[in-house]
Chains A and B, each alone.
Chain A
């Protein structure tokens, strides 16, 4: 028995130990399948006039970089340090206190230390110290500096596209460092070498050319909405009549194209149509859709400031062309961060528009005074608050709902109470997830900032684990079966996340539930919800 191996000896022979290098700089980057997105289609980069469009493969050794790539990165870095004061400050002030380290959903889910926000930023900071600080130049590696090499570039690329720019880490930073902005800069620099991913570059190119991520032509966009009109008629007996590109309408409606083209967002789009019809019939509400500014989302935000500005500008150009008073925006995530945080200094002020006032309740949306764009959750919450909607909550009573605060509306614009207020008014059963996983501290879906592709499914599932874990808790505690959200990327990203981690929980937008509860003038007895599913438990009430 003396021959028996000791526990430690036995275990150490198993081939599953992590790299034991003590310093992160010594851990080589390994680009793993399932964790990265495919390289950008060169045609898309060409369309946008981006440099170094080419076929390249992240897992191949040769990335076909331009000969002077180090100089391009150095100069690009320098230019951004001079242009963006925040970037310079963020490069200098981190004291590596570790407050952000364990706050990132990608670190929590993947267990990869380079996904700690502090280390992700350090990937850039190490080069910053080497290239731009005397301290770094003198001390080199002892001072946390390292020169830019191909391996460092690959590490940048791998980890800048494992960040969803959700800003959860920034909530905990005592200095207020916004690591998302560091990722934004990192991606801008990578773009200078043609190193974008296709899930971003092609939607940006499509949006630039046709007005939406999928490249849907205006007539096809209208066709899709017309399908919804038919479906709504079948379900409610009421034919809604949306208006398109109508000059002189009071309000322009802009929503992410995901609502029009991808389930379950499509039911949310039907919800908007039903709500607008109701408001028109009851109160003479006057709104128009645009088939040109047919995208609320802005993947330019994940590319560069200039690209974001270009894509954002079309919303305002369309509002000007149509001569509307203000813009109502649909349930979207990063659209709202672009509007709230950047639009005003990028393409604003939109002083040709009016300060938004609800034509139905008279409420003045002061927070939208400058951008002239109102979030539909706030608009609807205001309608409910003033008793302007006739709602039959029973149609949603089979739902036990929880709410996922999307990163951008919650942390980016403070939209916390309005969606909850709406849900409570259209559903009987609402259960919030634990406090440290919602509102400002919400966990990201794991697929934002252009990472909602198929080839990186492992990354998405790992990044979404903290969110799914909290949903699982309310699912087990309260029988929650519906996860509501006000972001189109969430509506696309969360269903697979639920299928993997919490089967039995479906995903919905806010206005799908609103429209299911909304009693339309002249409607027939509803037998199904917008998804065509029988309305459970309503059979007994038919005689009431």
Chain B
């Protein structure tokens, strides 16, 4: 059986272990909560993480398409981008999958084809990490944009209140210049 097939067959075990490792990036009490509470609305971080990992795992086995990976990982990274993690802390959980894959792989045949299979999966995981990094940056840029918008609005409103902004009606002639095609 090829490595990809074995990974698919062992998906639930591997994703569970992967999830436990992600949960362990939080303090112990929090990790316990993330793993124990099954309510998707009381435990959005746990639910989102588990679903995202599962989808990312599928995407990895199906060729690590960046668009599919983006959809799978965005909800997890979006959460970690606003928690007290550094950029590496927010994304390093992707690499936690490598040893789990190797563990399974080491129990199988060790012929050259198997080694090539492992390389292929590990290259895929690298791809997943790169996608995660892109998402992280996108989320941080959104956050900064929200802060910028807030300040811009505040200044604009201050100007309006100070009577420094006037609504200039658009002249019909300016909007539709004569001779325009």
Contacts and interface: CB of A to CB of B under 8 A. Distances in A.
Interface of A: 1, 4-8, 10-11, 14-20, 22, 27, 30, 32, 34-35, 101-103, 107-113, 116, 214, 216, 220, 223-224, 261-263, 434, 436-437, 454-455, 457-458, 461-462, 465-466, 469-470, 473, 496, 499-501
Contact of A6 (B27, B45, B99, B147): B99
Q: Which 9 A-B pairs have the closest CB atoms?
A: A7-B99, A16-B89, A469-B44, A461-B82, A10-B99, A454-B150, A113-B29, A111-B30, A496-B146
Contacts of A436: 39, 41-42
Interface string B139-150: 100110011011
Interface of B: 17, 21, 24-30, 33-34, 37, 39-45, 48, 78-79, 82-86, 88-89, 92-93, 95-96, 98-100, 102-103, 106, 110, 139, 142-143, 146-147, 149-151, 153, 157, 161, 163
A8 B34 CA distance: 20
A436 B110 CA distance: 52
Given A4-B106, A35-B84, A466-B44, A220 B100 contact: no
Max chain A Cβ within 10 angstroms of own Cβ: one of B24, B39, B106, B143: B143
Given A110-B84, A224-B161, A500-B146, A102 B99 contact: no
Nearest to B89: A16
Contact of B41 (A261, A434, A455): A434
Contact of B99 (A11, A108, A220, A434): A11
Nearest to A224: B161
B45 to A, nearest CB: 6
A220 B30 CA distance: 49
A42 B24 CA distance: 42
Nearest to A24: B29
Nearest to B101: A7
Contacts of A499: 142, 146
Contacts, number: 138
Contacts of B44: 108, 465-466, 469
Q: Does more than half of chain B's interface fall in helix, strand or loop, or is it mixed?
A: helix
A32 B89 CA distance: 15
Contact of A112 (B27, B40, B102, B146): B27
Nearest to B17: A7
Given A15-B88, A454-B151, A465-B45, A113 B39 contact: no
A261 B27 contact: no
Contact of A102 (B33, B96, B102, B143): B33
B150 A458 contact: no
Given A18-B24, A108-B43, A469-B41, 5 more contacts: A7-B102, A15-B89, A16-B86, A18-B27, A500-B143
24 contacts: A4-B102, A6-B103, A11-B95, A14-B96, A16-B85, A18-B27, A30-B84, A32-B84, A108-B45, A110-B83, A111-B30, A113-B30, A224-B161, A261-B161, A436-B39, A436-B42, A455-B147, A457-B82, A457-B143, A458-B84, A465-B44, A466-B41, A469-B41, A500-B82
B45 A111 contact: yes
Contact of A458 (B24, B34, B41, B82): B82
A119 to B, nearest CB: 9
A226 to B, nearest CB: 12
A20 B30 CA distance: 12
A457 B147 contact: yes
A112 B43 CA distance: 14
B52 to A, nearest CB: 13
Nearest to A5: B99
Contacts of B146: 454, 457, 496, 499-500
Contact of B96 (A11, A19, A35, A224): A11
Contacts of B147: 454-455, 457
A6 B98 CA distance: 10
